Amino acid sequence: MAESAKWYVIHTYSGYENTVSAAILKAAENRRMQDLIESVNVPMETVTEHTDAGEKTVERKVFPGYVLVKMILTDESWHLVRNVRGVTGFVGTGGKAIPLTDQEIQDMGVERHEVVVGYAEGDTVKVVDGPLEGFLGTVDELEADKDRVRVIVSMFGRETPVDLELDQVEPVKD
């Protein structure tokens, strides 16, 4: 039994993703299992289609035939989800549901972990994580959408650009 909720992928009949999503939430509410089933997500993307009539913006499912569920996997929660009409099973091996990894969740954009950046280009920062921990440097380039910052660090008497993640540096207080 898992202690914390994890994201699982459920296979559904194509076109039934929203119906399955609503049915899982309703079943969890009816059986008072909201503490086990935290969230249900049908990943969508906004796409601009070019047609003869012009441009049209539409919402499209990223993974047709799949629904993501954040839940604590127990026998009861597994049976609740598995017995919803339209669900064909969990994605996994040998009938066993396998949770998504943190990297997969981040790549799919299911959960956003927002990092508040307290520095800008030209600011002096301190590296707080990684092999260069403790080094001071100057922010050369900042790409918040890609969770990346390039810092110019002085090593061995030379200016060296280093690519780091946003949470690996913090601003130096004057």
Q: What is the pLDDT of residues 20-31, one digit of tens each?
A: 999 999 999 999
Are residues 29 and 70 located together in one domain of the fold? yes
- Give this prediction's pTM: 0.61
Torsion sign across C-alpha atoms 154, 156, 161, 165: negative
Residue 167 has pLDDT above 50, yes or no: yes
81 and 22 Cβ atoms separated by less than 8 Å: no
What percentage of the chain has pLDDT greater than the value 70? 93
Mean pLDDT of the chain: 86
Q: Is 142 helix (H, G, I), strand (E, B) or coil?
A: strand
Least confident of 18-22, 62-66, 116-120: 116-120
Q: Is residue 96 part of a domain?
A: yes
Q: Which residues contact 123 (CB under 8 A, 6 or more apart)?
A: 138, 139, 171, 172
What's the pLDDT score for residue 43? Answer: 84
- The domain that contains 145 carries what CATH number? 2.30.30.30
Residue 108 has pLDDT above 70, yes or no: yes
Q: Is 27 helix (H, G, I), strand (E, B) or coil?
A: helix
Residue 2 has pLDDT above 60, yes or no: no
Half-sphere exposure of 156 (CA within 13 A, CB side): 2
Are residues 137 and 94 located together in one domain of the fold? no
Cβ atoms within 10 A of the Cβ of 112, count?
Answer: 8
Residue 98 has pLDDT above 70, yes or no: yes
The parent domain of residue 136 ranges over 124-171
How many domains does one find in the chain?
2
